[in-house]
Structure 1
Amino acid sequence: MDDRQQAQEGIDLDRPNAARVYDYLIGGELNYAIDREFARKILALRPESRKLALMNRRWLRRAVRFGAEQGIRQFLDIGSGMPTVGHVHEVVQAIDPACRVVYVDIEPIAVAHSKIVLQDNENAGMVHGDGEHPREILEHPTTTRLLDLSEPVMVVMAAFVHFIPDARDPAGMIATYRRAMAPGSYLALSSGTFEGQGEEVRRAAELYKQSGTDVFPRSRAELQALLTGFELVPPGIVYTPEWRPDDPADVGPHPEQSSQLALVARKPS
């Protein structure tokens, strides 16, 4: 399918898309020239950006594996992005094939390719929707078919809330998901941050803004304010490589260079 056909199907090729840029940075192929051009500008500012994107992806895998090890058998991944090797369903279904996963994204390419990847997987599905509107996601037929919210669930928001300004009430959005989650459920969340960062990170954020995708990095205190009704799981809010690394050597001397804070929190029983 060429660019003109894709555009006719609702895919905006006039500006880069954050999910497709991220896909390019982690080595994916579900992106376009406009995305690669923008990614090269980010790489010119921060040559380590590929490595940093992979740090977030590895944190995501550790977080959902942790959830599965705690007995969670259903996962709701908000803003899931492009399907890549080691996606949530692959990680958790390797622990228990009965784990059920619902992915949510608004980007048409992410949705189309996820549906292809998942077409033979009866325990995973894709919702084309905006995760900022929890009721629409929670009441979607795919969600209600795969997830039983009377039982614990892990809700994943990897690199999602930093696209939502305070004016759109991310705390209220998260609270709506929390109210739908059974006691003993978990929230796994990562977000860009300016905390501990150099000026190049602010310039990268400005590039995103100029491209039409504004970002709102948050500090530890600002992320903590989004977690009313949850209890942080140790080690709390840390840079992505610091969150329960598989090997202490993976953290490295400068974990702040990940530019992302991460956490897992539990809804008390």
Structure 2
Amino acid sequence: CRARPCAADPGAAPVCEPDCARFDELNPGYAGLADGRERLARDARDLALHARVTLGHDQLRAEPPDFDAAAASLRRALVHARQLGRYRQTQAKIVGLALATAKDAHRAGLLSRAVATLEAARTVIGANERPRVDGQLARALADRGIVEANREGSALDAPAADLRRSVDLSPHGRRAQLSLGIVLRGLALQRWGSGSLSGARTVLEDAVEALTAALAHFPDDPEIAEERRRAQDELDFVREQFDESGR
């Protein structure tokens, strides 16, 4: 008799049946209040909001973290927040918690954990809060890509993908722009070494394109200009070999 959730909306706060004759007896804290049932529903939703945010944060910081569960908890928190008229404030709080959690992971050298934390938050929040996440996500992706690219014997496909995404999220990140060009040139060499001349050509075309775009943001940068020149020279050479071999 006390309360039950709405079957049509699993995210709804529990509410007391409108015709419950024992409301005052079962809910003494709200007894005698004209809007007792509404207050109970609002307070229950407020408690659910707090619990979901706390749970999501704990799931992000768990050992090991459960990013899918955290995203689900935070998404449900936003359902309650919308009903309480606190959607924007709750979004900002979720972003703040995610940024702090990711920063701790980043400082500890747990770059994949930092990336996954920010990705989880990004799936939950709206476009208005996304720039705050995207800036830190771009830095984490760039650092992960650079660290992996510098690992001896590393295949460069994954680092190239990280750096490309970093540049997409934050085109004004010079370090990621320059590193992307360098890594793409290295990836082209790996393609060549594996016997794929056409693969090397395609990657070098991407490198020239990426570095040309970088120069649009940093037109007077000598390192980026030099890297683009090298990529273009290598592309011209590979094209000559490709034309001669027909492969």
Name the TM-score class by shorter chain: under 0.3
More helix by share: 2
More strand by share: 1
Q: What is the TM-score of this pair, normalised by structure 2?
A: 0.25
Q: What is the TM-score of this pair, normalised by structure 1?
A: 0.23
Which one has the largest radius of gyration?
A: 2
